[in-house]
Amino acid sequence: MAIVKNKKFLNGAHVPHHKNTNDSQTLPLPVPERVTILMLQHMGAVCEPLVKKGDSVFVGQKIGESSEKMSVPVHASCSGTVQDIISYTTPQGISCPAVVIDTDKLQTMDPSIHKPEIQSKEEFIAALRESGLVGLGGAGFPTFMKLNYPHPEKIQQLVINAAECEPYITADYRECLESTENIVRGIQAIRKYFPVEVFIGVESNKPKAIEVLDQATRTLDRVTVVELKSLYPQGAEKSIVYATTGKVIPQGSLPADCGVLVMNISSVGFIGKYLEDGIPLINKRLTVDGDCVTHPANLLVPIGTSIQDVLDYCQVPQDYVKVLMGGPMMGIAVSDTALPVVKNNNALTVFSEKGAKLPPETACIRCGRCISICPIHLMPAKLEKAYDNRNTELLQELCVDLCINCGCCSYICPARRHLAQKNQLAKSLLKQRQVKERKTNE
Ligand code: SF4
Ligand code: SF4
């Protein structure tokens, strides 16, 4: 089907793109000396290590598993010897075990790995669980759980998110160009068991990706490449569903409740690849960029590689002051570059003192720009006041929990208020109160 230009969009900001690595073909990072593989790299239960100190491991070997429903296994990204099992704290503050592997640089593949044999929808979903796939766009939600929706007959549409609206990041763009065949195979595999209409949403600032995807899917029935307006955060779930299907996801509902599955383009590409070679999720494509990166790149990085190893490979000068896992709008600041790369990382953005410096806050001038730009139609200025007064009732009334932390309000504010940051803190405050109330009522 032909490309469709879409004019529907929720609110958002025109942020600078900085897509310096658009033409940087993905290069494999040399195997590091050591990898540290966290037993929690997804939304859900922590895995238990299946190996112990001194064990030899192969590439792709399952080294972590959980019997909980919401969890996916973890696999070794490198062959070598288990040097230790340590306790680690994730950037989100959750404690989990981690398997430390001293690599042998031989990258010996687990001999039990083979192309999965799939005859039914149940086997397809089970294979996706075994692959360790989580949403590669950033959320880390186990993909098999999305497809295990209790009312699969209601699912009519699949929205494939290739918007990649965050500044600097081009990892999904390179997936579109370098893994086109895998993406097509992934779409076909999903449609074998879920007869959905497919929309691939790509921002208009990526004409090459739009052209390649259109060419590759032209002979497929009910697949449309939708050229989205280049507006941040076009890739946010609610925004892209509205822009591609015209559906509005009501408050408290999931896209699936409205008959829509949403998947990231790299997740779909991974499915296509996994069904061919059976190699689980062990590598991740990362864009490394930022104002003090002189050699920006797209790298295929073994999961568990330390951030410092990636920065050293890109010859990032030592005088950087801020490293973000992700882009400048939604990325999480890294407190320690010894932290390992995990499944849902898609970029490292590194800033100098000048690039990282936030201008001083001044008083709110009640201009209302933060309200008119919010894609979720929240009232950031009022939320800030409610948080400053620790008024959790008002925070709940103003629906702070719906904030997607896109950062548009902070970006547009002429008084440079730290609105998005306050919303993060407000959400934690509200959660703490809810937990306390639940405990009191038990
Ligand atoms: S954009 Fe900034 S100055 Fe304007 S109302 Fe919102 S917080 Fe106040
Ligand atoms: S309030 Fe939340 S969702 Fe709205 S613009 Fe700010 S960060 Fe984005």
Domain boundaries, the chain: 4-22+114-277, 369-441
Examine the pLDDT at 10 and tell me if it is beyond 90. Answer: no
Radius of gyration (Cα) for the chain, nearest Å? 22
Q: How many CB atoms lie within 10 A of CB 366?
A: 8
Average pLDDT, the chain: 94
Question: 439 or 270: whose pLDDT is higher?
Answer: 270
Residue 416 has which token pair? 């440079």
Q: How far is residue 345's CA from residue 353's CA, in Å, rounded to a whole number?
A: 23
Examine the pLDDT at 35 and tell me if it is beyond 90. Answer: yes
Give pLDDT, residue 341.
Answer: 96
Residue of 146, 47, 142 whose CA lies nearest to 94: 47
Examine the pLDDT at 441 and tell me if it is beyond 80. Answer: no
Fold entry, domain 4-22+114-277: Rossmann fold (3.40.50)
11, 366, 377, 388: residue to mutate for ligand 1 pocket, most atoms within 8 A of CB: 366
Give pLDDT, residue 1.
Answer: 53
Q: How far is residue 23's CA from residue 5's CA, in Å, rounded to a whole number?
A: 24
Length of the chain: 442
The alpha carbon of 12 and the centre of ligand 2 are apart by a number of angstroms equal to: 9
Q: How many CB atoms lie within 10 A of CB 321?
A: 13
Strand segments, DSSP code E, in 219-259 are 223-228
For atom 5 of ligand 2, the residue with the nearest CA is: 374
The alpha carbon of 384 and the centre of ligand 2 are apart by a number of angstroms equal to: 11
> Tokens 């894609």 label which residue?
375
Q: By the 8 A CB rule, do 111 and 58 touch? A: yes
Tens of pLDDT, residue by residue over 270-316, are 999 999 999 999 999 999 999 989 899 999 999 999 999 999 999 99
The alpha carbon of 369 and the centre of ligand 1 are apart by a number of angstroms equal to: 6
The answer to whether the CB of 370 is under 6 A from ligand 1 is yes
- pTM of the predicted model, to two decimals? 0.93
- Burial pattern 19-55, b for ≥16 Cβ within 10 A else e, equals bbbbebebeebebbebbbbbbbbbbbbbbebbbeeeb
Greatest Cα pair distance, the chain, in angstroms, is 65
Residue of 147, 361, 130 whose CA lies nearest to 256: 147
Give pLDDT, residue 440.
Answer: 80
Question: 251 or 22: whose pLDDT is higher?
Answer: 22
State yes or no: cis peptide before 233, omega within 30 of 0. yes
Give pLDDT, residue 6.
Answer: 67
Give pLDDT, residue 5.
Answer: 72
* Average pLDDT of the residues in 178-194: 97
> Tokens 């195979």 label which residue?
185
Give pLDDT, residue 89.
Answer: 87
Question: Rounded to a whole number, what is the distance in angstroms from the first to the last CA of the chain?
Answer: 55
Tens of pLDDT, residue by residue over 239-265, are 999 999 999 998 888 899 999 999 999
Give pLDDT, residue 435.
Answer: 85
Examine the pLDDT at 59 and tell me if it is beyond 70. Answer: yes
The answer to whether the CB of 127 is under 6 A from ligand 2 is no
Q: By the 8 A CB rule, do 116 and 93 touch? A: no
Q: How far is residue 247's CA from residue 157's CA, in Å, rounded to a whole number?
A: 11
Examine the pLDDT at 137 and tell me if it is beyond 90. Answer: no
- For residue 191, what pLDDT band results from cuts at 50, 70 and 90? very high
Q: Which atom of ligand 1 is nearest to the CA of 409?
A: 1
Ligand with smallest separation from the Cα of 381: 1
Angle in degrees, CA 284, 289, 291, rounded to 5: 160
* Weakest-pLDDT range from 6-15, 237-246, 426-435: 6-15
Residue of 72, 206, 69 whose CA lies nearest to 136: 72
Rounded (10°) angle between helices 265-277 and 171-178: 40
Q: Where are the alpha helices (DSSP H) in 202-361?
A: 207-217, 237-245, 265-277, 307-313, 353-356
* Average pLDDT of the residues in 116-137: 95
Examine the pLDDT at 325 and tell me if it is beyond 90. Answer: yes
Q: How far is residue 180's CA from residue 299's CA, in Å, rounded to a whole number?
A: 18
Estimate to the nearest angstrom the gap between the alpha carbon of 146 and the chain centroid: 15
For atom 3 of ligand 2, the residue with the nearest CA is: 403
For atom 7 of ligand 1, the residue with the nearest CA is: 381
10, 374, 377, 387: residue to mutate for ligand 2 pocket, most atoms within 8 A of CB: 374
Share of the chain above pLDDT 90, in %: 84
Q: How far is residue 217's CA from residue 2's CA, in Å, rounded to a whole number?
A: 9
* Average pLDDT of the residues in 185-208: 96
* Average pLDDT of the residues in 147-175: 94
Q: Which atom of ligand 2 is nearest to the CA of 406?
A: 8
Q: How many CB atoms lie within 10 A of CB 209?
A: 25
Share of the chain above pLDDT 70, in %: 98
- For residue 2, what pLDDT band results from cuts at 50, 70 and 90? low
Q: By the 8 A CB rule, do 64 and 49 touch? A: yes
Q: By the 8 A CB rule, do 34 and 102 touch? A: yes
383, 385, 423, 425: residue to mutate for ligand 2 pocket, most atoms within 8 A of CB: 423
Give pLDDT, residue 251.
Answer: 82
Give pLDDT, residue 91.
Answer: 76
Q: How far is residue 223's CA from residue 196's CA, in Å, rounded to a whole number?
A: 9
Q: Which residues contact 68 (CB under 8 A, 6 or more apart)?
A: 44, 45
Q: How far is residue 210's CA from residue 227's CA, in Å, rounded to a whole number?
A: 7
Continuous segment of H or E residues that includes residue 347? strand 347-351
Give pLDDT, residue 149.
Answer: 85
* Average pLDDT of the residues in 45-55: 97
In terms of phi and psi (left: phi > 0; alpha: psi -120 to 50; beta: otherwise), the region of 312 is alpha
Give pLDDT, residue 222.
Answer: 95
Examine the pLDDT at 8 and tell me if it is beyond 80. Answer: no
Give pLDDT, residue 415.
Answer: 97
Beta sheet of 62-65, edge-to-edge order: 48-49, 62-65, 74-75
Give pLDDT, residue 4.
Answer: 77
